[in-house]
Structure 1
Amino acid sequence: MAPVIRPVQTALDPPAQTSVVVIGGGIVGLSTALTLAERGISVVVLEKGHLAGEQSSRNLGWVRKTGRHIADLPLSVESDRLWAEMPERVGADVGYRKAGIMYVARSEAEMAKHETWIGSDGGRALDSRLLSADEIDRQVPGGAERWFGGIHTPSDGRAEPTLASSAIAAAAIAKGAVIVEQCAVRRLVTSAGRVSGVMTERGEIRCEHVLLAGGIWSRRFLGNHGVDLPTLPLVASVLRTAAMEGPTETAVGAADFSFRKRLDGGYTITQRGALFAPLMLDHLLIGHRYLPVLKAEWKNVRLAFGRDFLRDLSMSRRWKGDARSPMEHVRTMDPPVNDGLNAEAMTNLCRAWPVFKQAEIRQSWAGMIDVTPDSNPVISPVAKLPGLTLASGFSGHGFGTAPAAGQLAADLITGDTPIVDPKPYRLDRL
């Protein structure tokens, strides 16, 4: 069962014209819409299902700088700042707490990665520091495992995925944005060699610019326009507990589990070291481009061939504006929970911190993540389609970096000075 987000009163029908159309009502698209609305730019967000119905409400809620790729670190730093300002900006509690993030290591090899990162230019600029086993025991008491060491960034934080997108959406609406749910965009409309609108299931909307923030759907949407966006799906399974007394407010990640305190007093838990990959046609078409990242970061991906392949194969890859699109056939991507991975997470966690043996599991869910070959997102104009900007491929990091990613997308659309250097996020790097 998917997490339930706080409801938002959205518009029933889209207008015939606007300045910017945002395709996708996830947290990145909504953050972009809020930024544009704050600048007095008319913007319409079109969501095929319901707001934050996919990965934006199903992620872990970490707001993390620790361990980021150096090129991606400035975006994380800016997002951290914007998350801290978010409650005042949107007039609501989004669950943001600067409670820190800690990674613990079982071996010298694991610890060496943290040492390398903290010795980099980016790592040295933060408040991150290496921890001894004794320091871990003091900060996260009650442990039964003797760790080799760890790394801790006190300024990292967390927020609540079931609250944040709704609050951002409501604030954007209050500032003039129009958000329409259950309205899929079928394709782009072009005139004089550039994007001039979108064709939706309810008709055409004219606009000057389009932002595609469609998450796992962006590759299929762009493919229909002859643009290649290399992303592959990975599925993460998650569970949450009832309110309980836990060992720390700090989020903790090990090689084979992670946990973080929730606003409701429970914990969100996952098997951090393993993801599930339901094989689809795209794995066969572009999977070879992922070999480096598989060796470096995604070493424990569980593969399976079955009904997902057939379902994916049955969905169209080419369609016209007057034809029903794949996004109308599947309003919400709702992958099944991998109970085996969740069981592994709980077993590993209880072995490390036995207090979690008392945990009462209240809910489990799964979410599909769109991963690029280098695990960094694409936030970029699309050269083949002037007037289109892309913000997708966040590789599981979209929630934490969404405020700055949305501002960067808005900057690219309006021509304002970018909040960070956009070069690392260009589409043509892939």
Structure 2
Amino acid sequence: MGPPIDPVRSSETLPTSADVVIVGGGIIGLSTALFLARAGLSVVVCEKGTFAGEQSSRNWGWVRRMGRDPRELPLVIEAMRLWDEMGSLVGRDVGFRRTGILYLCESEADVARHEDWLHRAGPYALDSRIISGPALASLLPGATTTFHAALYTASDGRAEPQKAAPAIAAAAAKAGAILLGDCAVRSIETGAGAISAVETERGRIVTRNVVVAGGIWSSQLLRSLGLRLPQLGIRSSVLRTGPVPRGPDGAAWGPRFAYRKRLDGGYTIADGTRSLHDVVPDSFRYFTDFLPILKREWRHMRLDFGAPLLAGLGHGMKGKAAAALAFEKTRVLDPAPRTDTLDAAYAALKVTFPVFENVPVVQHWAGMIDATPDAVPVISTVEALSGLVVATGFSGHGFGIGPGAGRLAADLVRGATPIVDPAPFRYERLIDGTKMQPTTGV
């Protein structure tokens, strides 16, 4: 079971038409809805289950620029500006604080890797810097482990995933967007190379514009349109603790643990060095697409052959009708957390910070990260189908970049001047033979 989420009120009435239908009620889809509704368009958001019920509420809660792929940095900076305005934008405190983030280094090799990022980030590195000695120690109060150095960005921050997307949803509804929970989209209708309508489990909505922001489900939905989207899932496990009165502020990533202070005084804790991929039929379908990043990250990757593979094979054998109903069969994807990995990470954290020693674990959970072969998202129109915008594949970056991604997607729908150059996020790069060049892991 995922963490408790602030409730989102769903509309009972299905409109017969809308300027835009957004598929997916996570932070990306909801942010897109907010900016479109504020621009005066009629917007419907269809969510197959609970708004923000999947990765949008299950992530670490980091809002960072540090370490991002250079192609993402202009959009991340715009997203950070929107996070600064979030309180006034949505009328609620979503916990955003610029409390800084540390990447802890145990060796000169770690330092060299981060210095390489500083070089590649160029002017977008802003206030990121390598620190050590007393400067680093001052940011790790109570630590009994001495780290060689760290990459530190004071302007990076944190927010509350269980509050942010629901707050954006409420603001979108206030601006006029219609939010439909427990309303799966079964198919997208087209005619003459353009979007014409969507068929939901509640009925049909006539529209000329669809935004697919369905996270890990996006590839399956697009396949029904004959569109190939290489995207796979990474299972990310997290635990949260009770309050820690004298714990470190902000967030940090280390070789054996990662932590982020929560608004409630507790901490979100994970192991950021291991990635778990549940093998599914798409793992074979997109194997060659992901080979470059697999070669780069294989030391940190674990494959799990189990229930997801069998379920995927079963759906495939039952044909297209069963595939459409799969969205309704799994209202909220709730993968099992790796409690052994989490417990090991928490034990390592306690060695470094004894103040955590008697702090209870409140909950374990897991979410599914939607990853692309180059770990850069798709935020793009689609040349083959007029009226379609895809916003998916955020590769673990979706929460922090979410408001900026939603703004960019809304610009693309409207044909407005985009907030940043959308070229790095174009869909066609994944299907036209462009060489995949991942610079970060997922």
- Provide TM-score, normalisation by structure 1: 0.96
User: Whole-Å Cα distance in 1 between the matches of residues 245 and 297 of structure 2?
Assistant: 32
User: Whole-Å Cα distance in 2 between the matches of residues 345 and 90 of structure 1?
Assistant: 35
Residue of structure 1 equivalent to 2:275: 275
Post-superposition offset of 1:295: 3.6
Residue of structure 2 equivalent to 1:391: 391
Post-superposition offset of 1:147: 1.3
Deviations 1:15-52 (A, max 9, x none): 00010000000000000000001111110000000100
Residue of structure 2 equivalent to 1:319: 320
| Structure 1 contact 316–326 (Cα < 8 Å) conserved | no
Residue of structure 1 equivalent to 2:140: 140
User: Whole-Å Cα distance in 2 between the matches of residues 212 and 50 of structure 1?
Assistant: 17
SS in 1 for 2:138: helix
Post-superposition offset of 1:133: 3.7
Deviations 1:366-421 (A, max 9, x none): 00111101101000112222111000000011000000000000000101111111
Listed as ranges, the matches of 1:156-235 within 5 Å are 156-235=156-235
User: Whole-Å Cα distance in 2 between the matches of residues 210 and 37 of structure 1?
Assistant: 14
User: Whole-Å Cα distance in 2 between the matches of residues 139 and 323 of structure 1?
Assistant: 50
Residue 13 of structure 2 aligns with an amino acid whose one-letter code is D
Listed as ranges, the matches of 1:335-414 within 5 Å are 335-414=335-414
Post-superposition offset of 1:125: 4.2
**Unaligned residue ranges in structure 2 (runs of 5+):** 431-442
Residue of structure 1 equivalent to 2:115: 115
| Structure 2 contact 193–384 (Cα < 8 Å) conserved | no
SS in 2 for 1:315: helix
User: Whole-Å Cα distance in 2 between the matches of residues 216 and 149 of structure 1?
Assistant: 36
| Structure 2 contact 278–303 (Cα < 8 Å) conserved | yes
Post-superposition offset of 1:256: 2.4
Post-superposition offset of 1:350: 1.7
Deviations 1:167-225 (A, max 9, x none): 10101111100000011001111123210110111121001200000000001111122
SS in 2 for 1:248: coil
| Structure 1 contact 63–157 (Cα < 8 Å) conserved | yes
Deviations 1:134-186 (A, max 9, x none): 32212112222221211111110111011011110101111100000011001
Residue of structure 2 equivalent to 1:249: 249
Q: Which moved more, 1:294-303 or 1:27-36?
A: 294-303
Post-superposition offset of 1:339: 0.9
Percent of aligned pairs sharing the same letter: 48
Q: Which moved more, 1:245-254 or 1:89-98?
A: 245-254
Q: Which moved more, 1:370-379 or 1:131-140?
A: 131-140
Residue 319 of structure 1 aligns with an amino acid whose one-letter code is K
SS in 2 for 1:358: coil
SS in 2 for 1:350: helix
User: Whole-Å Cα distance in 1 between the matches of residues 222 and 376 of structure 2?
Assistant: 18
Residue of structure 1 equivalent to 2:439: none
Please give the root-mean-square deviation of Cα atoms over the aligned residues, in Å: 1.6
User: Taking structure 1 as reference, are residues 256 and 295 closer, same or farther at Cα in structure 2, changes over 3 Å only?
Assistant: farther
User: Taking structure 1 as reference, are residues 124 and 35 closer, same or farther at Cα in structure 2, changes over 3 Å only?
Assistant: closer
SS in 1 for 2:85: helix
| Structure 2 contact 247–356 (Cα < 8 Å) conserved | no
Listed as ranges, the matches of 1:68-79 within 5 Å are 68-79=68-79
Residue 209 of structure 2 aligns with an amino acid whose one-letter code is H
SS in 2 for 1:197: strand
SS in 2 for 1:390: strand
User: Taking structure 1 as reference, are residues 193 and 312 closer, same or farther at Cα in structure 2, changes over 3 Å only?
Assistant: same
User: Whole-Å Cα distance in 1 between the matches of residues 413 and 124 of structure 2?
Assistant: 33
| Structure 1 contact 101–152 (Cα < 8 Å) conserved | yes
- Provide TM-score, normalisation by structure 2: 0.94
Post-superposition offset of 1:13: 2.4
| Structure 1 contact 98–157 (Cα < 8 Å) conserved | yes
Post-superposition offset of 1:316: 4.0
